[in-house]
Structure 1
Amino acid sequence: MTSSLLLAVIASGFIYAITPGPGVLAVFGIGASRGRKAGAGFLGGHMLGDVLWCSTALIAIVGAREIGSDAFNILGLFSGLYLFWLGMRAIRARRGNGDEPQGAARHPFWHGVLFGLTNPKAYPVAVATFTALLSSRAELLTWSMLPGLIALSFLGGLAAYAILIGVVGARRVRNGYLRHELAITRICGVMFIGFAINALLHAVPGLIGNKA
């Protein structure tokens, strides 16, 4: 495994875990009302869902690559279009779009487990994010690498969660996050569009070249 692939997988796990969404808003809400320990408990449970969805996404990506370049490029095309749609939606987001922070849970860990496993956005976002960042190194992906890829994505997610736990207990941080929520969401939207362009630049020429 090359150093560039290693860093790309870690970055994918990190970006997937730290990007603002229902889970990030939930942990800020729980941390503000019940403290850093409860927030860490929620994230500990939520990580089970992250590992599941990231592993499933990596299996789909490696599988598409092993089937053939066309399958991977088609996956990249749809991932790029999906990320572009998410980015545009984030840029045009308004307050009260349904992603408000969740209330504090009586059992933060189990609430995190349930939240992480049932989040309908988790799998498509994981596939799109990993595909966009790994598309330029698709030729390196094999089944034998899968355990290492999953472990590296876990490390990236763990680093993101460490940052969130570090700041989640401070009410001032949460209030500042919520005050600038729209700006943060729109910045992430621009980032998603950048990933989308990267995925499309690798997928479309491959599809056109194969048809020619």
Structure 2
Amino acid sequence: MTSSLLFAVLASGFIYGITPGPGVLAVFGIGAARGRRAGAGFLCGHLLGDVVWCSTALIAIVGAREIGSSAFDVLGVLSGLYLFWLGWRAIRTQRGSEVGPQGAARKPFWHGILFGLTNPKAYPVAVATFTALLSSRAELLTWSMLPWLIFISFIGGIAAYAILIGVVGARQVRAVYQRHEVMITRLCGVMFIGFAINALAHALPGLFANKA
């Protein structure tokens, strides 16, 4: 495994974990209501869902690559379009357009497990994020390195959650996040669109070349 591939997988796990979404909004809500310890418990439980969905996404990506470059290119195009759609929605978001967590969980750890495993956006976002960052290194992906890919993405997710645990519950952070929630969401939308362009830029030439 090359250093660039290792970094791309690590970055994918980190970005997937730290990018604002239902899970991040939930942990900020729980942290605001019950403090850092409850937020950390929620994230520890949520990490199980991340491992499941990221592993499934990596299996799909490696499988598409092993089946043939065309399958991976199609996956890249679909992922790019999905990321672009998410980014466009985020850019157009308005205050109050998203439904926040409905109160703090009484058992944050178990709530985090349930939340992480049942989040309907988890799998498509994981596939799209990993595909966007790994598309330029698709030829390096093999089944033999799958355990390492999963482990490295897990380390990236832990790093993201360590940052979230460090800031959740802090009064100043909660105030800034609540005051600038729309701007933060829109900036994340711009980032998603950037990933989408990267995925499409690598997938479309290969797809058209194969058709030719």
2:135 corresponding residue in structure 1 = 135
User: Structure 2 counterpart of 1:66, which letter?
Assistant: E
1:68-111 alpha-carbon deviations (Å, 9 max, x no partner): 00000000000000001111110001122233244211100000
1:68 corresponding residue in structure 2 = 68
- Following the alignment from structure 2 to structure 1, what is the Cα–Cα distance between the partners of residues 53 and 183? 27
Conserved? CA contact 1:91–1:190, under 8 Å: yes
1:208 corresponding residue in structure 2 = 208
1:78 corresponding residue in structure 2 = 78
Aligned-residue RMSD, C-alpha:
0.8
1:55 corresponds to 2:55: yes
- Following the alignment from structure 1 to structure 2, what is the Cα–Cα distance between the partners of residues 124 and 178? 27
User: Structure 2 counterpart of 1:190, which letter?
Assistant: V
Aligned in 2, Cα 1:25/1:105: closer, same or farther, shift over 3 Å? same
Conserved? CA contact 1:15–1:160, under 8 Å: yes
Q: Secondary structure at the match of 2:120?
A: coil
User: Structure 2 counterpart of 1:7, which letter?
Assistant: F
Q: Secondary structure at the match of 1:99?
A: coil
- Following the alignment from structure 2 to structure 1, what is the Cα–Cα distance between the partners of residues 102 and 84? 27
Aligned in 2, Cα 1:7/1:102: closer, same or farther, shift over 3 Å? farther
Between 131-140 and 28-37, the greater mean CA deviation after superposition: 28-37
1:95 corresponding residue in structure 2 = 95
Deviation at 1:171, TM superposition (A): 2.3
- Following the alignment from structure 1 to structure 2, what is the Cα–Cα distance between the partners of residues 37 and 179? 23
2:23 corresponding residue in structure 1 = 23
Between 175-184 and 138-147, the greater mean CA deviation after superposition: 175-184
Conserved? CA contact 1:28–1:101, under 8 Å: no
User: Structure 1 counterpart of 2:16, which letter?
Assistant: Y
Q: Please, which runs of 5 or more residues in structure 1 have no aligned partner?
A: none
2:43 corresponding residue in structure 1 = 43
Q: Secondary structure at the match of 1:15?
A: helix
User: Structure 2 counterpart of 1:148, which letter?
Assistant: W
Aligned in 2, Cα 1:71/1:93: closer, same or farther, shift over 3 Å? same
Conserved? CA contact 2:70–2:207, under 8 Å: yes
TM normalised by structure 2 equals 0.98
Between 198-207 and 93-102, the greater mean CA deviation after superposition: 93-102
Q: Secondary structure at the match of 1:190?
A: helix
- Following the alignment from structure 2 to structure 1, what is the Cα–Cα distance between the partners of residues 29 and 189? 22
Matches within 5 A, 1:149-168: 149-168=149-168
Runs of 4+ in structure 1 displaced over 6 angstroms?
Answer: none
1:112 corresponding residue in structure 2 = 112
Conserved? CA contact 1:25–1:102, under 8 Å: no
Q: Please, which runs of 5 or more residues in structure 2 have no aligned partner?
A: none
Between 138-147 and 168-177, the greater mean CA deviation after superposition: 168-177
The percent of aligned pairs where both chains have the same amino acid is 82
Conserved? CA contact 1:6–1:152, under 8 Å: yes
- Following the alignment from structure 1 to structure 2, what is the Cα–Cα distance between the partners of residues 89 and 173? 25
